[in-house]
Amino acid sequence: MALTVLNFQSQYLRGNTSVSIILPDRPVGMEAKAFYQYPQKFKVLWLLHGTFGDHTDWLRKTNIEVYACEKELVVVMPNGLNSDYANWDGFMMGYSMFDYLTEELMPLVYNWFPVSAKREDNFIAGLSMGGGGAVKFAVNYPEKFAAVADLSGPPKNLRSIYAQPKEKLDRRLINRVNNGGGVEAYLNSYQNSWDKLADLAGKGVLPRLYFTSGTKDYMYDQYLQFKKYAAEIGLDATFEEIEGYAHEWRFWDLTIQRAISFFNLDEE
């Protein structure tokens, strides 16, 4: 595969940002000129990192380049800081990560690289924070993605969490809700995947959904809670628990392979 690391000034992130992009290589025996002029548009996976990560994580800690090569799949890995893939208007000059993906990065990739913009050719996945981000994009833009994979980042019931004593709420959640304008504003915004999934379940508009967790993951109970909720709201989704794994890269290297299989990329 060919690897591109693009650094550019982003309108939505208000500064320079980096994105790693895996691109299919010229097949052995094919003339270079013929390959680079070939009009084929490749399928693409938008692959999101987790908390404390960046655009290099998947490349450094998994074999994603090998898996992409096997399927002639373009993989786009943006840099999202610890943003929860949300817009943060109050952060410095503003950091609009949610808008950045769909309004800037996707048009850039579709127009600068041989990538298909068709829904059936677009997939999104992520681990932990990135898994939650992938679902967030899917429920707000179901027309853009054929399938979604959430690895170790189950949607959460904010109402239930906020019913706890305030001293039990972590700083990250408090900041997230404050950024959203308070609990009610947050619940009524694009960030509330929990309710949006219920609103869209059974309407035939959602991408295909894959959720997975290791049984030793510290969020495994939240995953089971979400799985129960999914059954209650009639959400059509695939769930997979894998024994012995925690919140770890060995698990994500395994499950990104399973996610790619779930995407069924060979289907025309």
Question: pLDDT of 76-100, one tens digit each?
Answer: 999 999 999 999 998 888 899 999 9
Q: Could you tell me the CATH number of the domain that includes residue 84?
A: 3.40.50.1820
- Give domain status of residue 132, yes or no: yes
- Give domain status of residue 171, yes or no: yes
Q: Are 50 and 127 in contact (CB under 8 A)?
A: yes
DSSP type of residue 180: T
Provide the pLDDT for residue 163.
Answer: 79
Q: Considering only CA atoms, which of 97, 139, 143 is closest in space to residue 122?
A: 143
Q: Is the dihedral of CA 62, 65, 69, 72 positive or negative?
A: positive
- Give domain status of residue 64, yes or no: yes
Q: Is residue 51 scored above 70 in pLDDT?
A: yes
Interval 132-141 mean pLDDT: 98
Q: Considering only CA atoms, which of 265, 258, 264 is closest in space to residue 213?
A: 258
Q: Where are the beta strands (DSSP E) in the chain?
A: 2-10, 15-23, 44-48, 74-78, 87-88, 95-96, 122-127, 147-151, 208-214, 238-242
Please state the φ and ψ torsions of residue 70, each to the nearest 5 degrees: -65, -25
Q: How many domains does the chain have?
A: 1
Ranges 38-42, 99-103, 137-141, 168-172: which has the least confidence? 168-172
- Give domain status of residue 160, yes or no: yes
* Banded pLDDT at 168 (limits 50, 70, 90): confident
- CA 93-98-104 angle, 5° bins: 85
Give 16 or 173, the one with higher predicted confidence. 16
Q: Are 139 and 206 in contact (CB under 8 A)?
A: yes
- Give domain status of residue 268, yes or no: no
Q: Considering only CA atoms, which of 192, 197, 191 is closest in space to residue 86?
A: 191
**Burial (CB count within 10 angstroms: exposed 0-12, middle 13-18, buried 19+), residue 231:** exposed
Interval 140-167 mean pLDDT: 91
**Burial (CB count within 10 angstroms: exposed 0-12, middle 13-18, buried 19+), residue 72:** middle
Interval 92-112 mean pLDDT: 96
Rounded-to-integer distance, Cα 141 and Cα 161, Å: 26
Q: Is residue 268 scored above 70 in pLDDT?
A: no
Rounded-to-integer distance, Cα 201 and Cα 230, Å: 9
Please state the φ and ψ torsions of residue 213, each to the nearest 5 degrees: -155, 150
* Banded pLDDT at 192 (limits 50, 70, 90): very high
- Alpha helix ranges (H) inside 19-122: 32-36, 57-61, 64-71, 97-100, 106-112
Interval 15-41 mean pLDDT: 91
Report pTM. 0.96
Rounded to the nearest angstrom, the gap between the alpha carbon of residue 204 and the centroid of all alpha carbons in its chain is: 21
Interval 63-73 mean pLDDT: 95
Distances (CA, A) of 55 to 5, 51, 127, 150, 166: 9, 12, 13, 17, 34
Q: Is residue 22 scored above 90 in pLDDT?
A: yes
Give 248 or 170, the one with higher predicted confidence. 248
* Banded pLDDT at 159 (limits 50, 70, 90): confident
Domain extent, residue 128, equals 2-263
